[in-house]
Amino acid sequence: MRFWLYLSITALAAADGRLLPLLSQHCGSCHGGTQTQGGLSVNSMESLSKGGKHGPALALILPHITGEKTPRMPLGAELPASVIAEFKSAIQSIPTQAPIIDEHWSWLLQNPAQSAPPKTKNTAWPRNPVDAFILAKLESQSLTPAPVANRRTLLRRIFFDLIGIPPTPEEIKSFLADPDPQAYEKQIDKLLADPRYGERWGRHWLDLVRYAESDGFAIDGERPTAWRYRDYVIRSFNNDKPYDQFIQEQIAGDEYRGKGTGPQPDRIVALGFLRFAPWEADANSKKQLRQDFLNDVTGTVGSVFLGLTTGCAQCHDHKYDPIKHRDYYRLQAFFAGTATADLPIAHGTVENPKEMKRQQRLHDDESEAAQAELDRQREALKQKYMSLFQVKEDDAKVKQFLGKLNTKNLFFLDQDLPLVKEPEWRQPLKNYFDTRDKMQREQELARRYQALAYAVKDVAPPAAPDVPDTHVLIGGDLIARAEKVEPGFLFKTTPAEIPFAGGSNGRRLALAEWIASDENPFTARVIVNRLWQRHFGEGLVRTPSDFGRNGEPPTHPELLDWLATQFIERKWSIKSMHKLMLTSAAYRQSSHHPAQKEYAFNDPGNRLLWRMNWQRLDAEVLRDSILAVSGRLNPVPGGPPVLFDVPEDVAQGFEFFKWYPSSEEEQRRRSVYLIQRRSVIMPMAELFDAPNLSTSCARRLTTIVAPQALTLLNGALTRTEATHFATRLEKAADPVNEAFWLALSRPPTETERQTAASLANKSLASLAAVLFNLNEFLYVE
């Protein structure tokens, strides 16, 4: 970390007295007093900033004393690491710039204001207070909102938005025919009560929490029971769990003392949130690995719940926001006693415990049988080897040969065992590796059914006598330990009060209750903005995980505050906020405005929301929609992950694990249930901008690239499902008509009918494939 390169000359004037004495002591004999070797004097900050023949000297001190630059200083001697750390700390203490509480931050630090919706000239348009805020802003610019979208568009919009699957022809037709003035509202209620809602909105949350079912890095070991967290999230959304409780469970479920206290498996499962970062299982430095975990948690808690880039203060004071380097470690101190742990749980209340146990036993039995068979084959191979080379069992060669059998796969065996190329060896060896595969596969399956939560726990006495100290780390470097700090909330100077909480140390609980509090100025604003972002395509703050000065300022700060206060008033109910936003006139606007050209010229980003934004389907929604339209989506919810097919050459390349795809039927389940393995991202998800699984993803990009077209034109999913879609259509009286209703919720236009019919006469499957590739299929108006 070379943060000191950034120090400006002006900052030098403010330096404290720590650096000069150090310089005088260690460098003074050549650069102090009257000595000015190389033209450099360390007598004053001025002479340092003037520097010697190599220019200003402050930025050169560390590179030369650490040996990063030659010659290493002081000449002929190496400073001990402790002195170097002192230098680092002294240089770090030179303030870069004092945190400025500007207008933006003084707004942000205050609790959301409970303001009355503004008055508007047009009183007919607003349907609820949300609209008053939107319209007032439009009117101030002499703009008018777009007309309301047609009913078909509206229904498709809320279906994709809330459950991520298009309406069936019956659903759309009955809605179009429903004379009830509340028909639209009824549809929203119906979809919010639909269990597929949690599958759609849970996925948004999984994006944020860098959810993955493997460690990443080289080994990328599976996290076999991480899926319980995914199901927990889906359930929480479906049950409209109050968001404050949802937060507390994920940070401190084990210490939870809110409503409905008591040991609930879900509260342990929820702790997985703290643990989803990549994990370098074979890291050389376990201390660094532990620090990486702490850094991830400190950064992720800040960005997910508070919308603050706290991670930026890991090495130095935040460059834009009033978050001091020290504050970062005060925040980190809440996790100082927390360690990763797989915790036994009673099978969740919603899981089927009998079935879980049965599956585990089944796969255990299978793997034991395979193990026995493997031992038998191993013995046979050994005998074969011994007789070939005429050696005894205790010969080193035999030992070596058996060692090779533990190798990863035939390729690796190939490298050092020429034997493999002999035909009479090839088959038995292949059988041996196949058996090992089967055993490993069964073991892998059994592990997924274990009654374990992928979680954390506090290290308490007697395992650890006390919570370890937290120190400020200069430059984020573990060896550069500076001041010791106590847990403290951001923007509060006094240490946090830690409630006692049973076997744990209560620190996380304190943090969780501070975050999930009506009084926290960030939490409600950040989540209502995230909800708005998913409904409208853009947040009111368009950098949803960065509310700071380097993010974008809110387009409608008063609306954001009003929504935040509503959210708290509505007892942190996410579903009630959906309803509020979706029933607004703003949401019901058409995505086309009659004065589009003129408006788009002045406001190309549609910041004032004079029309609805188009949205492209997410990767998962696209895949689920294709399966839904072909009639083959397998609706089974929850449970261990589904492994999709990967090309054979890809499958053979994994060094530390084998890839065992699930059954065809399983593979037709919703995308949220597909395994999220860091080194094996599903190609279609990767192409259509799904998150990379390593860091929190607050907002997906939408790119348009040719490989997307190739995969939708030629890929196995399209072609297989097109065939089934065609089979479904064959039964219809008017297949072309039915095809359009299923895929697009409307009949074809006359021109479309001609085009489609001529293609359908050649092949219905081809028509089906074309429909999957249409812009209208991929984009929601």
CB-nearer residue toward another protein: 522 or 572: 522
Shortest distance (Å) from residue 160 CB to another protein? 16
Sign of the torsion formed by the C-alpha atoms of 730, 734, 735 and 738: negative
Provide the 10 A C-beta neighbour count for residue 262: 6
Minimum CB distance to another protein smaller for 636 or for 656: 656
**Separation between Cα atoms, residue 56 and residue 40, nearest integer Å:** 9
Among 610, 226, 278, 617, smallest CA distance to 455 is for 226
Phi, psi of 339 (to 5 degrees): -125, 155
State the sign of the Cα–Cα–Cα–Cα dihedral 423, 428, 429, 435. positive
Looking at the Cβ atoms of 282 and 664, the one nearer to another protein is 282
CB atoms within 10 A of CB 284: 7
User: What is the C-alpha separation between 540 and 560, in angstroms, rounded?
Assistant: 7
Min CB(269)–another protein separation in Å: 25
| Residue 456 · residue 339 · CB < 8 Å | yes
State the nearest-atom distance from the C-beta of 132 to another protein, in Å: 22
CB of 756 to another protein, least distance (A): 7
Smallest separation, CB 67 to another protein (Å): 9
Q: How far is the CB of 51 from another protein (least distance, A)?
A: 19
Q: Which is nearer to another protein, 241 or 525 (CB)?
A: 525
What φ, ψ does residue 622 adopt, rounded to 5°?
-60, -50
**If residue 625 lies in a helix (H) or strand (E), which one and from where to where?**
helix 619-630
Q: Give CA–CA dist 23/7, Å, rounded.
A: 18
Distance between CA atoms of residues 725 and 474, nearest Å: 61
Q: Which is nearer to another protein, 616 or 669 (CB)?
A: 616
Sign of CA dihedral 130, 133, 134, 136: positive
Q: How far is the CB of 277 from another protein (least distance, A)?
A: 9
Smallest distance from the beta carbon of 596 to another protein, in angstroms?
5
Q: Which is nearer to another protein, 507 or 699 (CB)?
A: 699
End-to-end CA distance of the chain: 47
What SS3 state is found at 452?
A: strand
Give 659 or 673: the residue with its C-beta nearer to another protein: 659
Closer to another protein at the Cβ: 513 or 721? 721
Give min distance, CB of 354 to another protein, in A: 38
Distance between CA atoms of residues 756 and 766, nearest Å: 9
Q: Which is nearer to another protein, 236 or 718 (CB)?
A: 718
- By DSSP bridging, strand 615-616 and strand 481-485 are unpaired
Of 187 and 529, CB closest to another protein:
529
Cβ 529 to another protein, closest distance in Å?
14
Q: How far is CA 404 from CA 382, 410, 419, 653, in A?
A: 11, 10, 11, 18
